[in-house]
Structure 1
Amino acid sequence: MAAAAAGLFGARARAARYYEGPVSDHFDGTVFRDPHGASPKSFADLARWWSARGNGADWPDWAPSPHRDRPPARVTGTRLRISFVGHASFLVQTGGHNILVDPVWSERASPFGFVGPRRVNDPGIPFADLPKIDTVLVSHGHYDHLDADTLSRLVAAHGPRVITPLGNDTVMADHDPAIAAEAFDWHDRVELSPEVAVTLVPLRHWSARGLLDRNKALWAGFVLETPAGRIYHVSDSGYGDGFRFREAAERYGPFRLAILPIGAYEPRWFMRDQHMNPEEAVQAFRDCGAALALAHHHGTFKLTDEAIDAPVTDLRAACAAARIPDERFKVLKPGEVWEL
């Protein structure tokens, strides 16, 4: 209990920085920021939202997926196999390399084991059925993306390479020194194998683990270079004026696939700067120029006010309005697989 409380109130953040390095256009020596983004909402705004949360839609206590995946050991050549674990977690298999993105197998996305957003369906891949994991990508420090307990399990079972933006390696090592994460800055490229590489790219978001460590660690999306083509994975991001998505296309495209968040977007006055809604996700799809898109960040953890099925319903309406066929912007349930 004391350890959990220390995490919430940022005991480590009071004592030291997560990262020390040169000042840049997005790091002032203490905290990170997106020069094309917006500051996180204030605690007063948070209190205003929470005080009105009775207006939010109710979610079911349990909404199981009918699917369960048992992946192959490897996927070779130019094939691409993507399995949706749930919320923001994926297994990407291509070029003989197995990559987990933002793996969360814990019951709650929370610093506490007894309170906080609780999953309403099981992970789409039972942990014991994972193939040998070569690389884990962790986009930022929010609890629905950086699940330290799951990372400890993965390191113990698979010994993967863990790649993350600056400062999040400190968070992981504080939890478990065995998590020897490698931390990188925006636009850093990392070779994962002779056939696969990843580049960390800017997004319009922010990061925190507690109340006193806002933006002391960096956040990022990922561009994966694979034999199956380039994949643009957007973790959490607001849309803004679309600059970050056009920038990605110009600097790192063309993309065969964009993996885009569609959930956790209501109320808009609070969420606009940090989470896209489905209509904005469709615009981001167009801006980045990808041939195909895959949705995530929906249907597992109730983080905001919209109904459990609203992101998918709103996405289908937005795609129809933009004349984008459903098969070009796919939605999976946990345990479903898309093979290209």
Structure 2
Amino acid sequence: MLRRSIFGELGTKSLRSKDRLVPWRKHVMNEQHALSSKATNVHCSPLGNFAIKQIRGYSLIAPSSAIGRNRILLMKYPMLSLHHNQSIRTYIFFENIFDKIFPSQEGMENMKRREKVIVALKSKRQRLLDSSSQTRAKFRQWRVSKQEQTRVRFKQWRLSKQDRIRLYRSSIESRSMKMMNRFRQRSNDARLKWKTRTTSEVQSIINKGRLRRELIKGRLNRLSSRYIRRVVTIEEPFKSEWFTDTGLPLTSRDPISQRFVNPWNSISTNGLKPFVEVWRWKKTRFFGFLDESLSNATKEQSSFVNERTKEDLKADALHPHKNQVNLTWIGHATTLVHFSDTFKVLTDPIFSNKASPIQWFQDKEFFGVPRWKQPSLTPDDLGEIDVVVISHDHYDHLDLGSVEQLHHENKVKFWAVPMGIKDWLKDVGIPDEDIVELEWWQSVMFKKGHDGNIKKHGLNDFARGGYSVKEFLSNERNEEDALVLTCAPTQHWCSRSPFDRNTRLWCSWAMHALVNESEKQTETTNDPLSYYFAGDTAYPESFPLHRLIGDNLGPFDIAAIPIGAYKPRFFMRDSHCNPEEALRIHKDIQSHQSVSIHWGTFPLANESFIEPPTLLDKAIHDLETSGEHFDTNFSSIPHGETIRSGRK
């Protein structure tokens, strides 16, 4: 019974362990197996009733009585078992069968001791099993607790995330509602403001229409004949691309030489004259065969001298009146123009003593012509100038010394020039960003803020599909003051040497200024202030050049028109207009008031000093006595005098 229990508790466990004892069990049960060993490998137990044999990493346990000569005999020992040296899970004991059959006192004691050992080992094994089961139970409990903690934390995280999302969504909804309310409020305010402003503007337009109705009727009656379609026949060669579909002349070049030409008069106005004509004109000047009127020119100057002092003229020129165009004639084609007290423009500045590439022999007509009349203002008197405009490159209009002096003293903010002169100014040292180069019918806008700084704002070309000048101004109307300069065509030519003839463009300038006055606005002050500077021009006989300028850019508050350098007519007809033709220009451009320039300063031609204004007065008198109803407010003023447009 004891043996069976031991086998059931220990032998069975050994057979099921990792030690694989089945082969050894088979040999033992068949009683046909013996293991040889050396005596040194046999170890006796302390009890003395069994021995241990170590074979190939395993321990063989057998009764000590079975040990013979270097051999352990295995005879009918069913409890023989193997125990691996590295295992602590199996304990094997073998009973001495002889002691059971023939018990003795010593055998009984040994059996009791063995039973005690077995009981102790079983209790130890049970304790080990119990501790292992407790460890597994604790681990399972720890794992369950951890899972539960993880489950609780995840649930808390999910709830907190939902709370955060709910809170974030509520904050977004709150901010969205606030933004929507503000947007609705601003929209309502803007809609109400726009409705009020639109209503007032519409009412103002209606009132203005009522006030202007009679004026428009009268003006249409007077100008109806000017809008009749006329067919102009050009006898000289021309290209279709030189004109727009409406007949406006464009900036044109000769297809062979690529030099600029007057499209309506491309041959006779190219500035090139036969030598016979040049000699016919110059012989009276080079060899002293002067006309009697020209020889008496210096004596007649005193009859056209301003009696006011220079200080009074300067004070009058530098203190403009508001809401008016203030024009000061400095000399020749140099004029100082104030648009109200906002914009200051200088035209064709020449302050040198001679119209020449060199200033030698200033009192002699050698490489140029000397100056008869000194300028009424010097560059030091002018102060800062917003824009300087140049009409063309002749020495009496584009003077190197004057340009260098204005540039070095930093008096000019912008330079407006026709095509080709920009490179010349850059050679002088003027920065590229300060120069505006335009073609015919192109416009540039300058704006001046409350701080007084002027800046270039935009370009426009209404001949090629852009806006008209008034539309250009109306589209940009705001709190800033605006000045629009338009490059307009003239009949002239260019040259500063025998090799650069007509490589640069010539032009006139139409100027429109929109000034925001703080005083009460009247019917006339809603229109921009306007000024026309003709530069140097002839009067085409077969082409309505100046009528086109007046129809597209006019009318003008005031204009500066040349009346000198027209004799002899066979030589000067294609380059300069005489006083009678200047009066026609005044009429064609629709100028309310005009001032004569380009006379009495340089002896460029054979007329005397006083002849141009005298012939102008005669032409005006003849026009008035002829019964033609036309505003002939065209006058000649002394050097340094200032006139103002008729606006109040």
Query: How big is each residue's C-alpha offset from its partner over 1:29-61, in whole Å with a ceiling of 9 and x where there is no partner?
Result: 731011123222425132332124424422329
RMSD: 2.4
Deviation at 1:203, TM superposition (A): 0.3
The structure with more helix, counted as a fraction of residues: 2
> Is the alpha carbon distance of 1:107 and 1:250 closer, same or farther for their aligned partners in structure 2, counting shifts above 3 Å?
same
Q: Which residue of 2 aligns with 1:263?
A: 564
Deviation at 1:244, TM superposition (A): 1.4
Distance 2:371 2:500 in 1: 25
Q: Which residue of 1 aligns with 2:262?
A: 34
> In 2, are the aligned partners of 1:186 and 1:201 still within 8 Å (CA)?
yes
Which amino acid is the alignment partner of residue 274 of structure 1? S
Distance 1:326 1:246 in 2: 16
Deviation at 1:339, TM superposition (A): 2.1
> Is the alpha carbon distance of 1:74 and 1:133 closer, same or farther for their aligned partners in structure 2, counting shifts above 3 Å?
farther
Deviation at 1:26, TM superposition (A): 0.9
* Secondary structure in structure 2 of the residue aligned to 1:322: helix
Q: Which residue of 1 aligns with 2:327?
A: 82
Of 214, 238, 243, the match for 2:538: 238
Q: Which residue of 2 aligns with 1:221?
A: 508
> In 2, are the aligned partners of 1:260 and 1:295 still within 8 Å (CA)?
yes
Distance 2:394 2:540 in 1: 20
Deviation at 1:93, TM superposition (A): 0.6
Q: In terms of mean alpha carbon deviation, does 206-215 or 123-132 score higher?
A: 123-132
> Is the alpha carbon distance of 1:313 and 1:159 closer, same or farther for their aligned partners in structure 2, counting shifts above 3 Å?
closer
Q: TM-score, normalised by structure 2?
A: 0.46
Distance 1:124 1:327 in 2: 27
Of 50, 60, 64, the match for 2:298: 60
> In 2, are the aligned partners of 1:238 and 1:272 still within 8 Å (CA)?
yes
Q: Within 5 A, what are the aligned runs for 1:131-280?
A: 131-157=383-409, 158-174=411-427, 176-178=428-430, 180=432, 181-193=435-447, 194-227=481-514, 229-241=529-541, 243-280=544-581
Point out where structure 2 has 5 or more consecutive residues left out of the alignment. 1-240, 243-249, 361-365, 448-480, 515-527
Of 276, 283, 301, the match for 1:51: 283
> In 1, are the aligned partners of 2:300 and 2:609 still within 8 Å (CA)?
no
Q: TM-score, normalised by structure 1?
A: 0.86
> In 1, are the aligned partners of 2:301 and 2:609 still within 8 Å (CA)?
no
Query: How big is each residue's C-alpha offset from its partner over 1:199-241, in whole Å with a ceiling of 9 and x where there is no partner?
Result: 0000000011011111000000000002463222111111022
Query: How big is each residue's C-alpha offset from its partner over 1:256-295, in whole Å with a ceiling of 9 and x where there is no partner?
Result: 2221100000000000011000011111111222111111
> Is the alpha carbon distance of 1:159 and 1:289 closer, same or farther for their aligned partners in structure 2, counting shifts above 3 Å?
closer
Distance 2:319 2:413 in 1: 15
> In 2, are the aligned partners of 1:262 and 1:276 still within 8 Å (CA)?
yes
Query: How big is each residue's C-alpha offset from its partner over 1:165-184, in whole Å with a ceiling of 9 and x where there is no partner?
Result: 0111222333x123643221
Distance 1:105 1:293 in 2: 23
Distance 1:184 1:224 in 2: 14
Deviation at 1:131, TM superposition (A): 2.5
Q: In terms of mean alpha carbon deviation, does 61-70 or 91-100 score higher?
A: 61-70
Q: In terms of mean alpha carbon deviation, does 216-225 or 145-154 score higher?
A: 145-154
Distance 1:188 1:326 in 2: 29
Which amino acid is the alignment partner of residue 235 of structure 1? G
How many residue pairs get matched?
A: 318
* Secondary structure in structure 1 of the residue aligned to 2:397: coil
* Secondary structure in structure 2 of the residue aligned to 1:173: helix
> In 1, are the aligned partners of 2:300 and 2:610 still within 8 Å (CA)?
no
> Is the alpha carbon distance of 1:70 and 1:49 closer, same or farther for their aligned partners in structure 2, counting shifts above 3 Å?
same
More RCO (CA 8 Å, sep 6+): 1
Point out where structure 1 has 5 or more consecutive residues left out of the alignment. 1-21
Deviation at 1:106, TM superposition (A): 0.7
Distance 1:85 1:260 in 2: 14
Deviation at 1:307, TM superposition (A): 0.6
Distance 2:284 2:301 in 1: 25
